[in-house]
Structure 1
């Protein structure tokens, strides 16, 4: 028996529906295979809603040819419970209604609906142009760079090679929280790094109204798309908060003034599709996470608290502390004031008394428990080597060209990055404890152009060494660490010249021999009363 015309029509419609579903399902698979786990997608010329299978982390914009198509699509969106995640608007050709490099994927229902140049304009690097005939991934321009560590990379030289960074002209995207706690207490936001088209950071999602934090603090590690700000994933942080942070510069918890330890920024590093992080503030493992999903790949117990991390690819090197002391109530602002008064009665000036308190704080840091430098293979999830430091000065751990370098309060020490065997040692002991820096910072260390630069007033000024063998190139007792209003500022080596954050003597000098260099003329940009403070400056090879 031959099927009737109605049956043929039904079969035809079913086949068309199956074909449409197969075509629609293909973009979902392509996007998943590309490990795009959230973001902004535009779909041109189709009312199909199959992209909902990608999940909650995506927003899909349907661009349709007329008002009737938009009305049908919006009704289907509402009925499917996708309102907000899916939107529809009329687009009749020409310029797409998006900023440059904003889309993670552009799905085009038929060839020729959008010009290739226009599609490439709106797609972010690594974004996908999906047409019925091909899938094209957008290249990553050589002119943009990643910022994988708090100080750019493992070298400690906070200078990006990015050629596109310039004075801002507009706001690209913004994300919650809309308000943050003042950094006069413990800043709500810290440790921003980027890699693979994603940004990662720590943030306190608790209310900012209670500036002293405590039970209101809810710290998390957050991952977002770097080009459109879409939330990709979150992981909670354990034991992070003002009542638990390490005491810095003698300001104990009851004072709550500038409560963020500098090492907080150094607990998060991104390398390719991996994230290395200390999810627990005190004793806890080094976690290796999948940067796309936030899932744990490895957890490595390194025998203490992971307080700082530097990495190059799958090699991660950590500062591991036996313990982080809880804040000492004897070092409250009130107690320091009493001790300062006693010192004043002994004949010391105000500045001398404050310097003496800093020297005593330095002595307490030098009496802390054993610290180790530990290297791990993040791909295999195993420890490669351990080295008893026995101390590691805050923010001094750096790595470049196969060497790991740090200051242990007695000397600059270099280790072979692959084996952990000592490579060289250069004595640089504390000789002027009263010149101890702010925020528990002994000095600044960076590696650039095959040289190690260490600047510290407490250890006698600046010294520059060859990275390969530790040979001394020059020293200058007049160059110490730079410091702002209770926060350290930084130094950056660009094109063989080291620049500081402030103007004045030795604010710029040549890395090769330590001689003075010309200071950029910035006119009256820094007027009287202005000072660099609170956060160390960053730079690119073009801009300070």
Structure 2
């Protein structure tokens, strides 16, 4: 019997119901990088080297290895797995065959399909039309990574609520995680770029995905960036404010604080009301990873790794010339064991 599974045992003339509790040894993976603090380390003592497959769900292949990936944003919570998936025809690389994206929910222990709902518009036509439209797709190579990093941050699960966007330029939707029913649509949050949830508050970063390109082209009306905090159950807006454009995946929440990097500025706000707590200037270079964990903010920029006190912004230590990743490897940073 899986955790939270129910068994009925015949006892005399009646039936005795037993619900298997969720063990403390199995963690939840509620965000793209585990939790709202971006530390991709599970607090799980049952995990170990894989020895067999628990279950397999079709299809066994994606549409192509060379065009944008057909699976995005996988998270898990409450014994369920959620992900965006392209259910278009497999194995035929041709732009004339449209993608067919869905938000899918499966039982995490046996793979049984629990529900799915369409997600549209979504796909390369929304974020990479210039690169792929009208091209000879038989000659495309390495296009599987041509997907906005923030797409992985469009799904968050917390308890019995799923926070998602049901279209590329859509607002935040709050769904019943068990049924997929949309309970609340939070108007005014579109277009969502990233979503984080912590302590019953959902933080939404909104900006037109094409705004950065427009700004490079000198378009003054490139669109504002906003941070919005809403109640996790009600969807009621707690606070909303304009923000400078946030570097990709450089937004985190931990200990009631919102921390993000914009350019070289590292800013900290109070989660409950958005009031500024501190702002400092970080290292020069391209932002790679930001982690907020156990009262410390770790900032990996260029080849510099810096630690700051999450309460004050004071620099604790700094390491120069950190070895950088090569090839297609991502700049990973993990905190474990203190």
The two structures share one fold, judged by TM-score above 0.5 = yes
Matched, 1:152 2:16: no
Deviation at 1:362, TM superposition (A): 10
Deviation at 1:461, TM superposition (A): 2.1
> What's the C-alpha RMSD, in Å, of the aligned pairs?
2.5
CA contact (8 A) 2:161 2:233 kept: no
| CA gap 1:371/1:289 in 2 versus in 1, 3 angstroms | same
- TM-score normalised by the chain length of structure 2: 0.89
CA contact (8 A) 1:415 1:423 kept: yes
Matched, 1:299 2:147: no
For structure 2, list consecutive stretches of 5 or more residues without a partner in the other structure.
none
Aligned position for 2:307: 464
Aligned position for 2:51: 169
CA contact (8 A) 1:377 1:383 kept: yes
1:457-494 CA-partner distances (Å, limit 9, x unpaired): 1xx722211111111112233137x4443452311111
1:108-142 CA-partner distances (Å, limit 9, x unpaired): xxxxxxxxxxxxxxx11011121234211101111
CA contact (8 A) 1:310 1:398 kept: yes
Rounded Cα–Cα distance in structure 2 between residues aligned with 1:383 and 1:169: 46
CA contact (8 A) 1:246 1:326 kept: no
1:8-27 CA-partner distances (Å, limit 9, x unpaired): xxxxxxxxxxxxxxxxxxxx
Rounded Cα–Cα distance in structure 1 between residues aligned with 2:162 and 2:189: 20
Rounded Cα–Cα distance in structure 2 between residues aligned with 1:319 and 1:464: 24
Rounded Cα–Cα distance in structure 2 between residues aligned with 1:414 and 1:273: 29
1:253 to 118, 132, 137: 132
CA contact (8 A) 1:210 1:216 kept: no
Larger RCO (CA within 8 A; separation ≥ 6): 2
| 1:12-161 map, 5 Å | 123-131=1-9, 132-161=14-43
CA contact (8 A) 1:212 1:242 kept: no
1:189-208 CA-partner distances (Å, limit 9, x unpaired): 11111111111011100023
More strand by share: 2
**Number of paired residues?**
325
Rounded Cα–Cα distance in structure 1 between residues aligned with 2:248 and 2:31: 15
CA contact (8 A) 2:288 2:331 kept: no
Rounded Cα–Cα distance in structure 2 between residues aligned with 1:130 and 1:366: 64
CA contact (8 A) 1:366 1:391 kept: no
SS of the equivalent of 2:59 reads coil
Deviation at 1:185, TM superposition (A): 2.3
Aligned position for 1:443: 288
Matched, 1:237 2:119: yes
CA contact (8 A) 2:6 2:17 kept: yes
Rounded Cα–Cα distance in structure 1 between residues aligned with 2:330 and 2:250: 13
